[in-house]
Amino acid sequence: MDEKTTWTTLVGGREVQIPATIDGVRQALADDPVRLAEFEAEIGRTPAARLVQTLAMWALPAEAWAEINAQMDRLAVGDFSGCTPMEDLPGYDPAGEEAA
């Protein structure tokens, strides 16, 4: 099993490494005791099926959240520039393989 302790994501158009372990997120939040306490409370009550999603949300740096929030604000006002409809994606099949 390949056990990666970091993930790679884009922030501001550049690749950055973010922690992919609970201990890694704890270390990343160590300088912010309030956020660390919030993380500990949330990760402790997160169902196993959602652990990866919750961990990823806490691992993202503030700059990533600024980008995400700006994109969501843009979409909320109806600006879909730069979006690709699912129908235009290669291999998109709304019926699935079973309908063939």
Q: At residue 11, what are phi and psi to the nearest 5 degrees? A: -135, 120
Give the orientation angle of helix 51-59 with respect to helix 33-45, to 10 degrees. 170
Which residues does residue 17 pair with via DSSP β-bridges, in sequence order?
Answer: 8
Q: At residue 9, what are phi and psi to the nearest 5 degrees? A: -140, 170
pTM: 0.73
Mind listing the pLDDT tens digit for each residue in 6-33?
Answer: 999 999 999 999 999 999 999 999 999 9
pLDDT at residue 73 in the model: 97
Sole residue written with tokens 């994501």: 9
Mind listing the pLDDT tens digit for each residue in 49-92?
Answer: 999 999 999 999 999 999 999 999 999 999 999 899 999 999 99
Residue 61 to residues 6, 76, 93, Cα–Cα distance (Å): 13, 23, 35
